[in-house]
Chain A
Amino acid sequence: MLTIDTVTREQVEDFMFLEAEMLDEWRLKEWLTLFTADGSYYVPTTDTPANASPDNALFYVADDRFRLEQRVERLLKRTAHAEFPKSKTRHLVSNVRIRARHDDELDVGAAVLTYRTKMGLTETYIGSYRYRIAVTPEGLRIREKRCILDMEGLKPNGRISIIL
């Protein structure tokens, strides 16, 4: 069984690579099971400090567990026009590092490059990840996922219609 003291970077990497695979294969309902019951997902705006709170700063995305489920439900509908027909995506996760361990939780950093292709155009999202990953009897679970974009705004992307 995994414990907070013995979990290795390789195990964390495997978990994050699995997550990337689920996203790229649009297995979004399955992806939701990687989160804790109180899990959240954030993408701050690019002129906001990386550790800002969505309670007092404008983000691009600030989903609690309920809204995250609703995001997934929306994206799987034909009426989610921005993702119909669905784009092809590829999440490349690299530079994974366990930055700290406290209580039942890992503080994990990584670099991420995501490509989205639709209607003859390929767009790139460049950034870093910061995860709070809970070590539970059922395995690793995401308590918070934060994608911090290195770009100056969403140019030329225009939207975050996929999960980063």
Chain B
Amino acid sequence: MNMPLTPEQPAVWNDPEHHIFKVSRRSFTDTQVFRDEYNRIFDKCWLYLGHESELVKPGDFVARIVAKRSILFTRDAQNKVNAFFNACPHRGAQVCRERKGNAKSFQCFYHGWVFGADGTLKSQPGSECYPADFNANGAANLVPVPRLDSYRGFWFLCFDRNVQSLSDYLANAKEWIDIIADQSEVGMTLVGGTQEYQIRANWKLLTENSIDGYHAINTHATYVDYLKNMQGSMSPVPFEGTGYDLGNGHAVIEYKAPWGRPVAQWIPLWGEEGKIELAKVRARLVERFGEARADRIATLNRNMFIFPNLVLNDIMAITVRTYFPTAPDAMQISAWALAPKDESAWARKFRLSNFLEFLGPGGFATPDDVEALEQCQRGYEAMKEAPWNDMSKGMIKEKVNYDDELQMRVFWNEWQRRTQATALGKGDA
């Protein structure tokens, strides 16, 4: 079904009364939309920066790109966590060119200015040529990001000084982050190793894909075959669950699934040792949270999306995934495995094995997702003649299923509210 496009028509066509929800394919291809996304979303929203476990000791640092900016994420000598723009206040060169490490100070190699892990200028060659009060106002220190805050070990930054608090921004997503953070009594940690990759597709396609329960049966047919082939890799649990709107564009699907979970759904493949191990994990969860919440943590899976670009999937393993567009048809992705610090070597091994079976660009599932996203992007070249995506699955229901499309509609409504994008560009009419 098509309707005539006008320059005023919003890119997201949401008509609940008639159960219509369509998204203009221009949203995925247009360079003006892409620029507006940076100005109105990535420059305005809280963005995931890193996890507390990446900065353990004073002096630990990580340098990474967040929304095009090079950011230096540090733990200083006072144990305070900081985030600075990785650009020398003198002439702008990146002061840190390593990706991670431990350092007392950072020296810009261009002219030799030296900065502490707290960002303050420590020394500059030729300081006698500057006034004694040259840095009295701190203007020669590394520039901190306008806002920095954390929730349960997840650090976020915002380039807009006037943004609402992180707590308000995360809205109902907080209680779902708790379900992940509560999986350890001593804290969660990223396991060493980053999966980094690039997909030749618009970033919003990965948002949809990360929380899409509908595609699994088709796209991941070979993964399901694999589970069946592997003796004892399934528990007798059917796929069932629902999707939730968490506010501010965040959403989640929560569902049962037959794969093993290191916290804590046992499968026969894991043997008696695994059974004893997981029974202990489960019993401790019951002691801490009671039967109902322990059951939810242990046996339910969650694919959660935090607007605009953070995915926390607590499935056969936990992945933290963030991504940024570099062009309308290209994005860069970073993904990590998150685990309880205190889990046994046994559990860690099976967790990582589980992770690789499904997740990541070398797994049995993600490569097919990448293929799907790139095929969609190719399809959108016909966006003038075939302009709409359909996102209406489940609109006719009172209570949606996990494989309906409510969670994507939550994302798109927030995206539309922020970008005010139109289905047709001004010059395209």
- Size category, B interface: 35 or more
Beta-carbon contact of B193 and A44 below 8 Å: yes
- Whether A18 sits at the interface, judged by CB under 8 Å, is no
Smallest CB gap from B201: residue in A: A158
Stretch at the interface among A30-38, A65-73, A88-96: A65-73
Stretch at the interface among B3-11, B119-127, B355-363: B355-363
Contact with A along B65-104 (1 / 0, CB 8 A): 0000000000000000000000000000000000110000
Beta-carbon contact of A153 and B222 below 8 Å: no
- How far is A78 from B360 in the complex, measured between Cα atoms in Å? 20
- How far is A56 from B193 in the complex, measured between Cα atoms in Å? 9
Of A58, A119, A158, the residue contacting B337 (CB under 8 A) is: A58
Given A82-B370, A154-B198: A67 and B192 within 8 A (CB)? no
Of A60, A80, A81, the residue contacting B372 (CB under 8 A) is: A81
Given A55-B352, A58-B193: A156 and B200 within 8 A (CB)? yes
Stretch at the interface among B223-231, B254-262, B397-405: B223-231
- How far is A125 from B366 in the complex, measured between Cα atoms in Å? 18
- Whether A74 sits at the interface, judged by CB under 8 Å, is yes
Beta-carbon contact of A58 and B367 below 8 Å: no
User: What is the minimal beta-carbon distance from A155 to any residue of chain B, in angstroms?
Assistant: 4
- Whether A10 sits at the interface, judged by CB under 8 Å, is no
A128 CB contacts on chain B under 8 angstroms: none
Of A52, A58, A74, the residue contacting B195 (CB under 8 A) is: A58
Beta-carbon contact of B199 and A158 below 8 Å: yes
Beta-carbon contact of B372 and A47 below 8 Å: no
Smallest CB gap from A48: residue in B: B193
Beta-carbon contact of A58 and B192 below 8 Å: yes
A80 CB contacts on chain B under 8 angstroms: 222, 368
- Whether B113 sits at the interface, judged by CB under 8 Å, is no
- Whether B341 sits at the interface, judged by CB under 8 Å, is no
Given A67-B357, A81-B372, A154-B361: A57 and B222 within 8 A (CB)? no
Of B330, B357, B367, B374, the residue contacting A160 (CB under 8 A) is: B367
Total number of A-B contacts with CB less than 8 angstroms?
Answer: 132
Smallest CB gap from B372: residue in A: A81
A51 CB contacts on chain B under 8 angstroms: none
Of B226, B356, B371, the residue contacting A59 (CB under 8 A) is: B356
Of B198, B225, B352, B356, the residue contacting A157 (CB under 8 A) is: B198
Beta-carbon contact of B226 and A58 below 8 Å: no
Beta-carbon contact of B368 and A82 below 8 Å: yes
Beta-carbon contact of B193 and A47 below 8 Å: yes
Beta-carbon contact of B353 and A155 below 8 Å: no
Smallest CB gap from A55: residue in B: B349
Smallest CB gap from A82: residue in B: B367
- How far is A66 from B360 in the complex, measured between Cα atoms in Å? 19
Beta-carbon contact of A54 and B198 below 8 Å: no
Beta-carbon contact of A160 and B362 below 8 Å: yes
User: What is the minimal beta-carbon distance from B51 to any residue of chain A, in angstroms?
Assistant: 13
Smallest CB gap from A162: residue in B: B367
Beta-carbon contact of A158 and B200 below 8 Å: yes
- Whether B177 sits at the interface, judged by CB under 8 Å, is no
Smallest CB gap from A160: residue in B: B362
- How far is A152 from B64 in the complex, measured between Cα atoms in Å? 13
- Whether A126 sits at the interface, judged by CB under 8 Å, is no
- Whether B383 sits at the interface, judged by CB under 8 Å, is no
Beta-carbon contact of A155 and B198 below 8 Å: yes
Q: Which of B191, B332, B374 has the most CB of A within 10 A?
A: B374
Beta-carbon contact of B366 and A45 below 8 Å: no
Given A55-B348, A67-B357, A74-B364: A155 and B193 within 8 A (CB)? no
Of A47, A48, A62, A159, the residue contacting B356 (CB under 8 A) is: A62
User: What is the minimal beta-carbon distance from A29 to any residue of chain B, in angstroms?
Assistant: 15
- Whether A142 sits at the interface, judged by CB under 8 Å, is no
B100 CB contacts on chain A under 8 angstroms: 47
Smallest CB gap from B357: residue in A: A67
What are 8 inter-chain pairs, A to B, with CB distance below 8 A? A45-B194, A47-B100, A80-B368, A81-B219, A154-B196, A155-B196, A156-B330, A157-B361
Using A56-B349, A58-B191, A82-B371 as known contacts, list a sample of 16 further A-B pairs with CB atoms less than 8 Å apart, ordered by residue number in A.
A48-B192, A54-B353, A56-B192, A58-B352, A61-B356, A62-B356, A71-B364, A73-B225, A77-B225, A152-B196, A153-B195, A153-B196, A153-B334, A154-B197, A157-B197, A158-B197
